[in-house]
Amino acid sequence: MSTQILDNEVSNLIDLNNIKKKKINIAIFGHGNVGRHLIDQIISSKEEISRRRDLDLNIFAVANSKTVLIKQKGLNENWLEEKQEFGQKFSVEDVISFAKNHNLQNLILVDNTADAEFVHNYETFVENGFHLVSSNKIANTLNLKFYQNLRKKLTAKKRHYLYETNVGAGLPLIDTIKLLHLSGENITRIRGVFSGSLSYIFNTFSESDRTFSSVLRSAIDKGYTEPDPREDLCGNDVGRKLLILARELDLHNELKDITIQNLIPKDLRNVSKEEFLGRLKELDVPFQIKKKNQSKDFVFRYVADLHGDLSKETGALLNVSLVSVSKNSMLGALKGSDSIFEIYTESYGDNPIVIQGAGAGAAVTARGVFGDILRISDKD
């Protein structure tokens, strides 16, 4: 091999190594369970993603309701300690101004809060060049006008908004429904167990001789429920998830349109969390009676059901309730804390598309958010 050829090959290798990687600048709001897992997942995967996908993932800001830590060159594994020491009070405009002043490109806002007020900043972020990724369901369940205006803004600014974890944690559900709907497939019904916590509770209660309160206590101890389990038992969270799926089909529904069965006895709905947790045994007799009256080889499932005439904007019926199903059905065979979604379409007839998997857990949800970040990173 001649010296000239060798020099050319070395030069080509140097040029390849100097190809500038695409830098994705990420601002993360909310660092509770899901947020902490997400930040740690991104930091631990950063080098591997850089090598495999030519992406440089840079978390330049992390915030909660009180303080923000901003670092132009990004966070490292000691981010939480640094934030505790150097975090400062802030406004949303401070984060946006920092990105502008430092000419940060490929911006993504990640909302891992459960804050009803924070979602009203989404349009401001979009106007200033941010894409949106959210595990927070609230923006997609506010009034229809807010929902539609946000999407108009996203279209006008050519920004993306991904929220796969809003329903089904990390399962590929929303994207599947979007693709079916956009391709012209007529979805006729969506039904399933949408809550991982309620899945665990009723799967366990149905198959064991334990009291309802002991099963619920186990779910609390395992971290499956919200700190106040009434947030799960009231059914509102499942209702919001059902509304999100309805709106993916361009249905014009609001939360008030959903019939939701609240599983909490009326006299326990407005007491303090501490009092409720101290009175869990009061749930035992009502649920034991339901169980005793159930048909043989049937089990309980807390089911969300979107049906009716889904070809009309206002033709849908939305129900969330505790139902008794055969053990031999797909819903009845569910185990652990899995969620399951049955998607019925005109083409598939009586045989639904079934998506099933882990429906709860901070690490699973964080991984789904991470996936949305990577999908947006690949789009631009």
**Would you name the residues annotated as active-site residues?**
241
Beta strands in the chain (DSSP E): 22-29, 55-63, 68-70, 107-111, 130-134, 161-162, 187-193, 258-260, 298-308, 316-326, 338-345, 353-358
19 CB contacts (<8 Å, ≥6 apart)? Answer: 54
What the block records as the tokens of 96 is: 């946006």
Helices (H) and strands (E) in the chain, counts: 14, 12
Secondary structure of residue 378 in the 3-state scheme: helix
Cα separation, 354 vs 287, in Å, equals 29
- Strand order in 55-63's β-sheet? 68-70, 55-63, 22-29, 107-111, 130-134, 161-162
Give me the helix-helix angle, 79-86 and 33-53, nearest 10°.
Answer: 120
